A = this chain, B = another copy of it.
Amino acid sequence: MREVEIKALLVDPYQNTPVVLLKDQGSEKVVPIWIGTPEATAIAIALQEREFPRPLTHDLLQNVIDAMGGELDMVVIDHIEDSTYYATLFIRDREGEIHEIDARPSDSIALALRTGSPIYIAEEVFAASAIDLPYEDDDQQREQFRVFVEKDMNLAEFKKFIQ
């Protein structure tokens, strides 16, 4: 298993779909995961550490886990099947029992960002899907790839684009 961090949230210029790039902490490789628009927005909001007056859906999920005395130990993106990634939430309840709950990677990431929990990726998923960063790490190339998160994310632009 490899711990990953969110390298970027961008829009795939070919499929016109949000993609999150998860970067392996032990190498320069990234795993791209295509996600839905509402989940991309939920991730973007967490990355920006923006607060809203009312709890959004993933905030509510976090609040429910908190209220019930649970804690999100980690999320693991653990397999891939027919180009679909599967993840598992590991929630520890107040008795210390761990509950493994099937989830989409997008929801898992949106939640892990809120709880500060680590995100792992199984070795076989990494082997099957890791790539080099699909753009050079300079401003011009980033611009071409419509990278909205990283050092200088612009959520308004991102939302405009994905709408």
Contacts and interface: CB of A to CB of B under 8 A. Distances in A.
A37 to B, nearest CB: 8
Number of copies: 2
Interface stretch (A5-13, A95-103, A130-138, A141-149): A95-103
A89 interface: yes
Given A68-B68, A91-B67, A103 B61 contact: no
Contacts of A64: 61, 64-65, 70, 89, 91, 99, 101
A55 B91 contact: no
The size bracket of the interface on A is 20 to 34
Interface string A64-103: 1101111000000000000010100101010000010111
Nearest to A54: B104
Interface of A: 38-39, 41-42, 53-58, 60-61, 63-65, 67-70, 84, 86, 89, 91, 93, 99, 101-104, 107
